[in-house]
Structure 1
Amino acid sequence: MNLSKKQTERLVKGCINNDRTAQEALYKLFYAEMLRVCNSYVPDKELAKEAFNNGFLKVFQSVNNFDIEKGELGGWIRKIMIYTSIDLCRKELKFNTVSFDIHEHDDYFISPSALEKLYFEDILQSIRTLPLATQTVFNLSVLDGFTHKEIGEQLSISEGTSRWHLAEAKKKLRELLEPGSIQSKERSEIKR
């Protein structure tokens, strides 16, 4: 959502002053995009809504910390939503510490031809089949551009463990999404 600097200042000042109109406008403006962010991290729709609402509560409580000179409002809200979603499912995450040889897994990629044939919901459904820990690392790395160091700090795991989860996610997604794979054929049969 690209707002002008003036629009952003007006919304932020209104929210700082507890102006319900400004709060409602901010909420409605970012509703769909931020709910989608929460849905990508939290597998249960009701929990995703809870993460979304908790995230917006945090936004309203800390809006006075937002600095218009340092970043874009949508990006700031997105980070809050990501961290809130992760916090909500942190109890369920089970990370195993593993050693990881990065060169061992260089061939894990998903071909563009496989991705061209899929819709967002198909991809999201495939991502949701991954174990929650692997899914979270995949989302943080691929969808949101976090480094393995940042992922490790956020999830209290090593960079090597983060790399292992990402490689594992790519491997499993490739198996699911590649044309001609058993899982891909099964999905085609179900859709007919």
Structure 2
Amino acid sequence: MSLFRSKPHHQLIAGCKANERSAQEGLYKLFYADMLRLCYRYLKSDELAAEALNMGFLKVFQNINSFDQQKGELGTWIKTIIVRTCIDLNRKEAKFIEATDLAEDAHAAFIAPEVLNKLYVQDLVKAIRQLPTATQLVFNLSVIEGYNHQEIGEQLQISEGTSRWHLSQAKKLLRNMLQPANPSTNDPTVNPNEAL
């Protein structure tokens, strides 16, 4: 175990507040892997993900004096800053489709459990990164982060209906990407007559 990982959070926080380079390095190393994975989910390229990570940690160090250990957990605070940084980077490319009173299509959103069981995390992240930017943002905030449509609307400055539409669209697109092709047409061992 490294020296940084063994240091309690409060010591790292105090060091960062005192602008100590070793404490900043320790905090960065402690949260680096988790926050980089978070950036990969939100951004389409590895370069943008690395940019968001570094910009986010710069904001962490610039605002560390505002962090209150009594009000929340350090990892959650850092994650919030990183997510907002990703949203800001994505907002430039995001094209939100305005939608009103669109009901989610339950059938379109369904992904068979056996498909999900076979997926690796990397496959799912790769599929999420292929979504249109605005749709990817809404999907991450809703499904991964657990925000409701009102909260998403406030963060992205869109209506709740628009948020719902993008979530529904994300599920449809992911279902199409993740569902296996019709086995009756791709499996040479299946008799087409029996498949009907």
* TM-score relative to the length of structure 1: 0.87
Runs of 4+ that moved beyond 3 A:
none
Quick check: 2:40–2:125 contact (8 Å CA) kept in 1?
Answer: no
The worse-fitting range, judged by mean Cα deviation, of 79-88 and 119-128 is 119-128
Quick check: 2:102–2:164 contact (8 Å CA) kept in 1?
Answer: no
Which secondary structure does the structure 2 equivalent of 1:151 belong to?
helix
Quick check: 2:44–2:130 contact (8 Å CA) kept in 1?
Answer: no
Total equivalences in the alignment: 178
Alignment correspondent of 1:159: 160
Percent of aligned pairs sharing the same letter: 57
Counterpart Cα distance in 2 of 1:100 and 1:126: 27
Kindly indicate whether residue 46 of structure 2 is the aligned counterpart of residue 45 of structure 1: yes
Alignment correspondent of 2:61: 60
Unaligned runs of 5+ in 2: 1-6, 187-196
Counterpart Cα distance in 1 of 2:9 and 2:30: 11
Alignment correspondent of 2:3: none
Distance 1:146 1:181, change over 3 A: farther
Which secondary structure does the structure 2 equivalent of 1:92 belong to?
coil
* CA-CA distance at 1:181 after TM superposition: 5.1
Rg larger for: 2
Counterpart Cα distance in 2 of 1:129 and 1:48: 14
* CA-CA distance at 1:47 after TM superposition: 1.1
Residues 171-191 of structure 1 show CA distances to partners (whole Å, capped at 9, x for unaligned) of 111122123359xx7xxxxxx
Kindly indicate whether residue 15 of structure 2 is the aligned counterpart of residue 11 of structure 1: no
* CA-CA distance at 1:109 after TM superposition: 2.3
Distance 1:181 1:122, change over 3 A: farther
Counterpart Cα distance in 2 of 1:91 and 1:20: 32
* CA-CA distance at 1:166 after TM superposition: 0.3
CA RMSD after TM alignment: 1.8
Quick check: 1:100–1:163 contact (8 Å CA) kept in 2?
Answer: no
Residues 88-112 of structure 1 show CA distances to partners (whole Å, capped at 9, x for unaligned) of 121111111112333x513322222
Alignment correspondent of 2:111: 110
